[in-house]
């Protein structure tokens, strides 16, 4: 893990150097995003509880390749938890969780908005273009940790995969953007460290529209669908929305949310049949350009008809954000979960769980433009 980081650091030293625009005809830009977390309380992941740690350090290179194509390369060193049934009792006990820092190639793709009129093409490894949060890097989220339903559908961060994505802005009197993609699908729903050979690719689609709300507001709404088959057959359907009201550069009010429904089946005849559904809502008020406050509400329902397991949980998370500039952010949040839920062992109890989360993120150099 140490060697790739040193190589990237060496390469990035040239990009961060004081080079005049006329001396850099390639247009290469580099950015480093660092995400520092502190988790305190029983709801925190066992490997991260009651400590401050570097959750992620992400290095990004982006540049035009030629008049038609652009290129993006993103590598990330981030903290991951591993679980293993060391004593063979069939249950993942607290002492069987470990944490380590892992280096991964998150994104490596070329893209073009000039090859085909009204179209955008992306090929390589990238964040799959579904929903709201899955299209945004984690350090750019308005809150620190993933909503309960997003974690069950896409993981703690996002779903990255290798493939091809095509988006078409339809020639209509209103905004309607259609994205379709096809990726390997081999690592969707994987257990930690295990990969499956996909019997069918991960195929997905998102249809999105945008409209203005009065003179200062706007909203984006998306409808999503995906399916794949590896060790299990998965079908995913969902909707996302984001609305913002601005006063100059200040976002006075933000309201975003997502709903997802995931079906997972195994065997013929069926031996495993699980449905996961839920949503989150996040309204946020901006007091000025630097300070905002929001409250996130999560709801998650998991039902496995073959194992006789049914579980519902909700959580509330107030979040105070301080942004001295677009290159730094500090979040303080408190989450209260109605009951504990173990997604590995499919167990739950009625004891409420709570935690305090601290987050500090900063960006050095260039950072790609954010989505709406």
Model pLDDT for residues 255-295, shown as the tens digit of each residue: 999 999 999 998 878 788 899 999 999 999 999 999 999 99
Taking the C-alpha atoms of residue 275 and residue 283, their distance in angstroms, rounded to an integer, is 27
Domain extents for the chain? 2-365
306 close to 273: Cβ distance less than 8 angstroms: yes
pLDDT at 193 over 60: no
Closest CA to 138 of 37, 281, 258, 252: 37
Angle CA(125)–CA(131)–CA(136) in degrees, nearest 5?
Answer: 55
Instruction: Please determine, for residue 22, whether its predicted confidence score (pLDDT) is greater than 90.
Output: no
Residue 152: pLDDT over 80: yes
Block residue for tokens 């038609």: 68
Tokens of 22: 């006329």
pTM, two decimals, is 0.86
For 148, other C-beta atoms within 10 Å of its C-beta total: 24
- Residues 145, 155: contact at Cβ < 8 Å? no
Specify the 3-state DSSP secondary structure of 13.
Answer: helix
Q: Which pLDDT belongs to residue 27?
A: 87
Round the average pLDDT of the chain to a whole number and report it.
85
- What phi, psi does 209 have (nearest 5°)? -130, 160
Q: What band does 214 get if pLDDT is binned at 50, 70 and 90?
A: very high
Q: Which residues contact 258 (CB under 8 A, 6 or more apart)?
A: 131, 132, 133, 147, 149, 150, 238, 239, 240, 241, 279, 280
pLDDT digit string (tens) for 98-107?
667 888 899 9
If you average pLDDT over residues 291-310, what whole number do you get? 91
Rounded percentage of the chain residues whose pLDDT exceeds 90: 62
Domain 2-365, CATH number (from 2.40.160.10, 2.40.320.10, 2.40.30.10, 1.10.730.10)? 2.40.160.10
**Residue 44 confidence class, pLDDT cut points 50, 70, 90:** low
Q: Report pLDDT for 321.
A: 98
Mean pLDDT of 26-31: 89
Asked whether the bond before 269 is cis by omega within 30 degrees of 0, the reply is: yes
């Amino acid at each position: 893990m140490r060697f790739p980081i040193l190589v990237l650091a060496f390469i990035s030293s040239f990009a961060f150097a004081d080079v005049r625009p006329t001396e850099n005809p390639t247009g290469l830009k580099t950015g480093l995003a660092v995400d520092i977390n502190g988790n305190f309380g029983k709801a925190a992941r066992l490997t991260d509880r009651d400590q401050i740690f570097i959750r992620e350090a992400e290095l990004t290179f982006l540049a035009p390749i030629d008049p038609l194509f652009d290129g993006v390369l993103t590598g990330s060193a981030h903290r991951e938890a591993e679980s293993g049934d060391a004593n063979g009792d069939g249950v993942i006990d607290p002492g069987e969780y470990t944490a380590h820092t892992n280096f991964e190639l998150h994104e490596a793709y070329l893209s073009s908005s000039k090859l085909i009129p009204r179209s955008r093409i992306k090929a390589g490894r990238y964040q799959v273009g579904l929903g709201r949060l899955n299209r945004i890097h984690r350090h750019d989220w308005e809150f620190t940790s993933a909503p309960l339903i997003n974690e069950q559908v896409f993981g703690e961060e996002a779903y990255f995969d290798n493939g091809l994505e095509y988006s078409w802005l339809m020639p209509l009197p209103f905004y309607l953007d259609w994205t379709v993609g096809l990726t390997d699908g081999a690592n969707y729903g994987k257990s930690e460290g295990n990969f499956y050979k996909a019997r069918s690719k991960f195929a997905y689609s998102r249809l999105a529209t945008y409209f203005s709300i009065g003179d200062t507001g706007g909203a984006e709404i998306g409808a999503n669908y995906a399916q794949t088959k590896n060790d299990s057959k998965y079908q995913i359907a969902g909707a996302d929305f984001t609305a913002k009201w601005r006063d100059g550069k200040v976002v006075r009010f933000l309201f975003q949310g997502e709903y997802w429904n995931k079906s997972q089946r195994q065997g013929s005849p069926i031996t495993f049949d699980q449905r996961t559904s839920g949503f989150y809502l996040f309204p946020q008020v901006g007091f000025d350009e630097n300070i905002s406050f929001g409250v996130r509400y999560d709801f998650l329902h998991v039902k496995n008809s073959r194992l006789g397991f049914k579980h519902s949980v909700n959580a509330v998370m107030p979040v105070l954000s301080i942004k001295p500039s677009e290159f730094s952010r500090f979040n303080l949040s408190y989450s209260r979960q109605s009951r504990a839920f173990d997604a590995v062992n499919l167990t739950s109890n009625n004891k409420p769980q709570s935690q305090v989360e601290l987050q500090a993120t900063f960006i050095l150099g260039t950072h790609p433009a954010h989505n709406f």
